[in-house]
Structure formats: structure tokens, C-alpha cells
Amino acid sequence: KAFTLKGVAATAGAKAAIEAAGGKLAE
């Protein structure tokens, strides 16, 4: 479960980073 949680956290972090970058590009 620890490995899965790390994977989910990494995915969520990457998604947040992409959305943040996308928002800047959109502006």
C-alpha cells in the first residue's frame, strides 16, 4: 500500500504541476 500511496501522491503532484503550467500558458 505504501508504494501505491507514493505513486498516487506522485501522480497528483505531477497533475497539479501540469495544471499550474497549463494555467500559465492559458493566460
pLDDT of residue 22: 79
pLDDT of residue 26: 60
pLDDT of residue 18: 87
Terminal-to-terminal C-alpha distance of the chain: 39
d(CA 26, CA 5): 31
What secondary structure does DSSP assign to 1-27, as a single string? -HHHHHHHHHHHHHHHHHHHHHHHHH-
pLDDT digit string, tens, across residues 1-27: 677 888 888 899 888 888 888 776 665
pLDDT of residue 1: 66
